[in-house]
């Protein structure tokens, strides 16, 4: 696939990286997104920096197209504002990005997003994000016991009702040594899932993709009915479903 063939071409992907060991796979994810023609803005939580360093992001940028990879952390939010009239970073990111991808999404940040907290650059941007006009993709990554906790199903379903789409974790041996569901999907699976889902969204909701590369993927706000058509819940064990949630078949992505 050439960059011009991808629905991500000429789009800006805001990539939120949270404190999960799966963050070590983010450099490969950035490379794939840039190869699809996307620009990538990486935003890390404080704990994500433990797994993904400045040098690693800069190395990926240098090996691809430096002009299409940027990185920000919480400190930049405060450094860039000095007086009234200065730009507010989380609002600028909200305006500039076409797609919001959080990968990996830790249990901690999942809970924050689901409850509307705004205590770092990722959560502030999410709180300001136009969930019904610009897509949100979530790639949870956590220990199996945490993934199967009832709060996980409740939080994911709450965000999906806003319009988020989930790329479910996979079954494998985890970093802690346990074996089970909880690992972030491969970078290839994430990018492919986003492309397939975005094509379906633009076809169902907005018709053909807008010709102008900066046009919103959703020209008109999504209705709850439209959201329901593409927001298939992730496959969760029965014990992890919210008490009032009916069983669902696994998603197609």
- So which residues are the catalytic ones? 176
Q: CA–CA distance from 73 to each of 12, 143, 227 (Å)? A: 18, 25, 31
Closest CA relative to residue 37, chosen from 17, 7, 73: 7
Cβ(156)–Cβ(140) below 8 Å:
yes
Q: How many CB atoms lie within 10 A of CB 239?
A: 9
Q: Measure the CA–CA gap between 151 and 157, rounded to whole angstroms.
A: 10
In sequence order, which residues have a C-beta less than 8 Å from that of residue 114 and are 6 or more positions away? 154, 155, 156, 158, 159
Return d(Cα 126, Cα 116) in angstroms, integer.
8
User: Coil, strand or helix: which one is 165?
Assistant: strand
């Amino acid at each position: 696939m050439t960059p011009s063939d991808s629905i991500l071409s000429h789009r800006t992907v805001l990539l939120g990286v949270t404190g999960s060991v799966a963050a070590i796979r983010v450099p490969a994810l950035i490379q794939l997104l840039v190869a699809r023609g996307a620009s990538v803005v990486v935003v890390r939580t404080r704990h994500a920096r433990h797994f993904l360093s400045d040098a690693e992001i800069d190395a990926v940028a240098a090996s691809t197209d430096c002009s299409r990879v940027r990185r920000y952390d919480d400190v930049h939010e405060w450094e860039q504002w000095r007086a009234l009239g200065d730009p507010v970073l989380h609002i600028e990111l909200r305006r500039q990005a076409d797609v919001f991808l959080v990968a990996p999404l830790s249990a901690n940040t999942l809970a924050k997003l689901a409850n509307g907290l705004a205590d770092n650059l990722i959560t502030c941007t999410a709180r300001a994000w136009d969930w019904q006009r610009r897509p949100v993709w979530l790639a949870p990554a956590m220990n199996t016991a945490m993934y199967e906790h009832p709060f996980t199903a409740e939080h994911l379903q709450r965000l999906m009702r806003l319009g988020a789409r989930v790329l479910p974790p996979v079954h494998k041996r985890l970093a802690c040594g346990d074996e089970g569901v909880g690992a972030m999907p491969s970078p290839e699976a994430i990018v492919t899932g986003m492309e397939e889902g975005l094509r379906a969204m633009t076809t169902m909701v907005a018709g053909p993709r807008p010709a102008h590369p900066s046009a919103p993927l959703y020209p008109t706000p999504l209705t709850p009915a439209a959201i329901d058509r593409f927001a298939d819940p992730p496959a969760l064990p029965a014990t992890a479903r919210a008490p009032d949630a009916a069983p669902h078949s696994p998603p197609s992505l």
